[in-house]
């Protein structure tokens, strides 16, 4: 089985190494940020980066892995954001503390994800009968419907919930660097674990050749809806974090341009590469901030980066390459092994 | 080689090799027909395959052979007639359900999962045999490890039929043409079929590759005890391994029988060579 050169690291050790590294990253950087290592402004940028990573990585499931082109990702984000916002207001998360507070935050995130996932199923079943540009248009329509509904409805059955065009305000600000990072890690982990299983293989098979997948016994409709729902779930989680970050929500935030912004991150990073999505989410969020000094030109630079990448690397920065810590360790290991043998 | 001289015996609905006569036929098509708009692509197609028969489907280009494969796998829904797999009607079933009932196929124009490694191509074929749920995958429960390990071993074993286990981690799209055709057969086998439908398996292969393929098809039939139906234009292959052959022209069966009978059938010769061509066997 060992076709790769040199040693392969056994499974349990791989998991151990990865767990330790992730734990170090989470605790180390959270302690650093919370300890005042960076300014409040940088912390805020980091939180936005985290939210964008979740959005890009989740959209990548539908575009990169499933191979469809949905344009309504901001719609799912809006559903998650409003669900999270209303829930947090309702349970008065701002006044809770300790374990109760943590529980509320976790419940809000989960609930936002689930409600968005339900929307994913409801939209996915009819939409995924179409493909290509038709799917793009129907999902675009869905995103717009969400936005318009949120703008025009301010009360449901007499309860003031979404406050329509004036926006949902005074949402408890639950989002911190720590919980954004945990969500990012969990999102990437869950998507990775799904993709490296029979379910993930089925999703990839649909992207590669739908007819062949179907005649290999893959339930194509089921897996399309599953991938779409998974994508919607994490968009909902990101939405909830966004609500807890801003503290107020405007329906106009979740327009068509937001969907495109997320799609650009995925395409720039390379469709089908999680690492690519993460890197381009970081780049495209940080770039406008870094370029703040050149106020007038920053959007020009942003666009220029996109144009240049698409000209010189049309498959995106990473293509379909995915990151594997073990692979790198194995290579380093193999290198040392060889140099040792040469000496001896 | 001796086995290909099996006698065909009549059963209800057609003829099957003598050794399969005791068991019910695995695949049966009755009065099958499909119209595309005003065009009748296949009409009154009757056909029966024994449990371990190697059957052939031949005919000139455009005769409707691939359409029949598409009907058998429910890619198209038939306008008339019905298909029985192991005695069960497949009407209204989805393609993947038909696959799980035991029909696997390869494609005339290769349809592999090109960007994925060879091994994953085979593992996708085993989709129906793995049971673990989404939660099992995310939490990496023991069911995940056990089934993945078993599937991986079985996939490598299947690949070794064609000596391809060393290519397991190569992207399928970068394999040479012949190997891609073989991989399609392995992938189809991985679904655990009762009937293997091969659509022009020898297309583009040289004579020695074709001879090897012939041996392999026979080997597959013997080891897995399954039926094989193949569409092929290479008459050496068809006459060499098929026990029963059906000849199709303009969507209708014009002859059925053993290779010898087909070879000498005047109607077949006419369909292939035209009138007045008589003497040359095909």
Nearest in space to B74 (alpha carbons), one of A211, A252, A6? A211
**Residue in B105, B112, B114 nearest the CB of A215:** B105
Give contacts of B138 with chain A, Cβ < 8 Å: 190, 193-194
Number of domains in chain B: 2
> Which of B157, B192, B227 is the endpoint of a domain?
B192
Q: Is A2 within 8 Å of chain B by CB?
A: no
Q: What is the pLDDT along chain A (344 residues), one digit of tens a residue?
A: 444 445 677 778 888 888 898 899 989 988 888 888 888 899 999 999 999 999 999 999 999 999 999 999 999 999 999 999 999 999 988 888 888 999 999 999 999 999 999 999 999 999 988 888 899 999 999 999 999 999 988 777 667 777 888 888 889 999 999 999 999 999 999 999 999 999 999 999 999 999 999 999 999 999 999 999 999 999 999 999 999 999 999 999 999 999 999 999 999 998 889 999 999 999 999 988 888 888 778 778 778 888 888 888 888 887 777 777 777 777 777 777 777 766 65
Whether residue A38 lies inside any domain: the answer is: yes
Cβ atoms within 10 Å of A90's Cβ, excluding its own: 12
Measured in angstroms, the CA of A322 and the nearest CA of chain B are apart by 13
- B89 and B1 within one domain: yes
Res B6: pLDDT: 66
- Please report, for the domain that includes residue B51, its CATH number: 3.40.50.300
Extended strands (E) in chain B: 8-11, 14-17, 27-36, 39-49, 54-58, 80-85, 88-89, 103-105, 195-199, 227-231, 244-249, 252-257
Give contacts of A213 with chain B, Cβ < 8 Å: 113, 124
**Residue in A201, A214, A215 nearest the CB of B120:** A201
Res A18: pLDDT: 85
How, if at all, do strands A159-160 and B14-17 pair?
unpaired
Quick one: A172 exposed, middle or buried, by C-beta within 10 A (0-12, 13-18, 19+)?
buried
- B186 and B138 within one domain: yes
**Residue in B75, B127, B190 nearest the CB of A202:** B127
Whether residue A75 lies inside any domain: the answer is: yes
Q: Is A4 within 8 Å of chain B by CB?
A: yes
- B58 and B16 within one domain: yes
Q: Is A215 within 8 Å of chain B by CB?
A: yes
Whether residue A307 lies inside any domain: the answer is: no
- Under-70 pLDDT residues of chain B: 1-6, 276-282
Res B281: pLDDT: 46
Q: Is A185 within 8 Å of chain B by CB?
A: no
Res A92: pLDDT: 85
- B247 and B225 within one domain: yes
The answer to whether the CB of B228 falls within 8 A of the CB of B55 is: yes
Measured in angstroms, the CA of A182 and the nearest CA of chain B are apart by 17
Map A80-117 to HEC letters: HHHHHHHHHHHCCHHHCCHHHHHHHHHHHHHHHHHHHH
Instruction: Report ipTM for this prediction.
Output: 0.89
Number of domains in chain A: 1
> Which of B192, B208, B239 is the endpoint of a domain?
B192
- B188 and B76 within one domain: no
A66/A227 Cα distance (integer angstroms): 7
Task: Count contacts between A and B (CB, < 8 Å).
Answer: 99
- B235 and B136 within one domain: no
- B52 and B137 within one domain: no
Whether residue A193 lies inside any domain: the answer is: yes
Q: Is A156 within 8 Å of chain B by CB?
A: no
The two structure tokens encoding residue A180: 């954004």
The answer to whether the CB of A213 falls within 8 A of the CB of B124 is: yes
Q: Is A203 within 8 Å of chain B by CB?
A: no
How, if at all, do strands B8-11 and B14-17 pair?
antiparallel
- B244 and B121 within one domain: no
Q: Is A8 within 8 Å of chain B by CB?
A: no
Measured in angstroms, the CA of B229 and the nearest CA of chain A are apart by 16
The two structure tokens encoding residue A221: 């409709």
- B211 and B72 within one domain: yes
> Which of B168, B192, B216 is the endpoint of a domain?
B192
Whether residue A82 lies inside any domain: the answer is: yes
Q: Is B114 within 8 Å of chain A by CB?
A: yes
Q: Is B149 within 8 Å of chain A by CB?
A: no
Among A190, A198, A206, A273, pick the best mutation site for testing chain B contact (most B Cβ within 10 A): A198
- B152 and B185 within one domain: yes
Measured in angstroms, the CA of A201 and the nearest CA of chain B are apart by 6
Whether residue A227 lies inside any domain: the answer is: yes
- B215 and B147 within one domain: no
Q: Is B166 within 8 Å of chain A by CB?
A: yes
Q: Do A193 and B104 touch (CB under 8 A)?
A: no
Q: Do A220 and B191 touch (CB under 8 A)?
A: no
The answer to whether the CB of B99 falls within 8 A of the CB of B73 is: yes
Nearest in space to A43 (alpha carbons), one of A174, A171, A180, A240? A180
Domain that holds residue A33: 24-257
Measured in angstroms, the CA of A329 and the nearest CA of chain B are apart by 19
Q: Do A214 and B100 touch (CB under 8 A)?
A: no
Q: Do B132 and A214 touch (CB under 8 A)?
A: no
Domain that holds residue B3: 1-102+193-282
Q: Do B115 and A320 touch (CB under 8 A)?
A: yes
Whether residue A51 lies inside any domain: the answer is: yes
The two structure tokens encoding residue A71: 């344009």
Q: Do A216 and B191 touch (CB under 8 A)?
A: yes
């Amino acid at each position: 089985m060992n076709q790769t050169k040199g040693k392969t690291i056994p499974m349990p050790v791989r998991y151990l190494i990865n767990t330790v590294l992730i734990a170090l990253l989470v605790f180390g950087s959270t302690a650093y940020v919370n300890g005042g290592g960076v300014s409040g402004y940088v912390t805020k940028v980091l939180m936005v980066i985290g939210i964008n990573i979740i959005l890009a990585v989740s959209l990548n499931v539908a575009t990169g892995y499933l191979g469809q082109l949905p344009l309504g990702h901001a719609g799912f984000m809006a559903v998650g954001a409003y669900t999270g916002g209303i829930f947090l207001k309702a349970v008065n998360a701002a006044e809770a503390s300790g374990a109760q507070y943590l529980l509320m935050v976790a419940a809000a995130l989960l609930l936002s994800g689930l409600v968005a996932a339900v929307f994913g199923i409801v939209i996915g079943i009819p939409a995924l009968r179409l493909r290509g540009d038709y799917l793009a248009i129907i999902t675009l329509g869905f995103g717009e419907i969400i936005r318009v509904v949120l703008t025009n409805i301010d009360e449901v059955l007499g309860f003031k919930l979404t406050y329509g065009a004036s926006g949902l305000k005074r949402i408890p600000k639950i989002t911190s660097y720590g919980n954004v990072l945990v969500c990012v890690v969990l999102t990437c982990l869950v998507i990775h674990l799904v993709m490296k299983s029979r379910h993930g293989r089925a999703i990839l098979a649909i992207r590669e050749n739908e007819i062949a997948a179907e005649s290999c016994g893959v339930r194509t409709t089921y897996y399309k809806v599953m991938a779409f729902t998974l994508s919607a779930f994490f968009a909902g989680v990101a939405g909830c974090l966004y609500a807890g970050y801003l503290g107020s929500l405007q329906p106009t935030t979740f327009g068509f341009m937001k969907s495109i912004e997320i799609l650009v991150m995925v395409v720039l990073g390379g469709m089908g590469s999680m690492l690519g999505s993460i890197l381009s989410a970081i780049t495209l969020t940080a770039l406008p901030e870094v370029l703040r000094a050149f106020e007038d030109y920053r959007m020009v630079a942003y666009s220029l980066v996109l144009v240049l990448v698409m000209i010189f690397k049309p498959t995106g920065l990473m293509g379909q390459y995915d990151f594997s810590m073990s692979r790198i360790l194995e290579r380093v290991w193999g290198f040392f092994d060889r140099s040792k043998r040469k000496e001896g | 080689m001796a086995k290909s001289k099996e006698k065909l015996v009549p059963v209800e609905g057609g003829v099957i090799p003598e050794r399969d006569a005791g068991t019910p036929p695995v695949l049966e098509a009755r009065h099958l027909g499909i119209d595309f708009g005003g065009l009748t692509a296949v009409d009154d197609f009757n056909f029966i395959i024994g449990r371990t028969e190697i059957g052939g489907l031949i005919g000139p280009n455009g005769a409707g052979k691939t359409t029949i494969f598409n009907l058998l796998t429910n890619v198209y829904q038939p306008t008339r007639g019905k298909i029985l797999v192991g005695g069960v009607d497949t009407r209204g079933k989805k393609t993947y359900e038909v696959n799980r009932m035991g029909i696997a196929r390869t494609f005339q124009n290769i349809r592999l999962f090109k960007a994925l490694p060879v091994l994953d191509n085979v593992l996708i074929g085993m989709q129906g045999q793995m049971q673990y749920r989404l939660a099992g995958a995310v939490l990496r429960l023991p069911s995940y490890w056990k089934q993945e390990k078993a599937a991986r071993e079985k996939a490598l074993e299947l690949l070794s039929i064609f000596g391809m286990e060393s290519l397991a981690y190569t992207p399928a799209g970068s394999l040479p043409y012949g190997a891609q055709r073989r991989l399609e057969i392995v992938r189809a086998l991985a679904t655990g079929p009762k009937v293997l439908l091969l659509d022009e398996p020898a297309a583009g292969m040289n004579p020695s590759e074709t001879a090897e393929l012939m041996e392999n098809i026979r080997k597959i039939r013997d080891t897995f005890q399954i039926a094989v139906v193949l569409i092929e234009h290479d008459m050496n292959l068809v006459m060499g391994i098929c026990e029963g052959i059906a000849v199709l022209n303009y969507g209708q069966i014009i002859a059925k029988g053993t290779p010898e009978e087909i070879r000498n059938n005047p109607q077949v010769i006419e369909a292939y060579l035209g009138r007045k061509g008589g003497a040359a066997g095909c």
